[in-house]
């Protein structure tokens, strides 16, 4: 049982990959905390948006086997 985590912008740079497959997490909050420790992400969860299966989601959204999760940092443009 696994999920696919997608990384964008600064998170992709820190992780060094575009995506990775991981075991189904207990929660999105726990998953981000684990990834933050593993990859050294500097942004706290409060600064991110999270999407599950292509739609923005709340941090307490349940995650199922096969889900695609994206943590989306703020971006700037010019």
Check residue 74 and give its pLDDT: 87
- Dist CA 57 CA 17 (whole Å): 23
Residue 76 has pLDDT above 70, yes or no: no
Residue 49 has pLDDT above 90, yes or no: yes
**Global pTM exceeds 0.85:** yes
Which residues of the chain form beta strands (DSSP E)? 2-7, 19-23, 49-52, 55-57, 68-72
Q: Please report the domains of the chain, with CATH numbers, ordered by start residue.
A: 2-72 (3.10.20.30)
């Amino acid at each position: 049982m696994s999920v696919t985590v997608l990384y964008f912008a600064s998170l992709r740079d820190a992780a060094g990959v575009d995506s990775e497959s991981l075991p189904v997490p207990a929660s999105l909050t726990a998953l981000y905390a684990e990834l933050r420790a593993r990859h050294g992400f500097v942004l706290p969860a409060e600064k991110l948006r999270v999407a599950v299966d292509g739609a923005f989601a709340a941090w307490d959204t349940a995650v199922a086997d096969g889900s695609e999760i994206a943590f989306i940092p703020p971006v700037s443009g010019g």
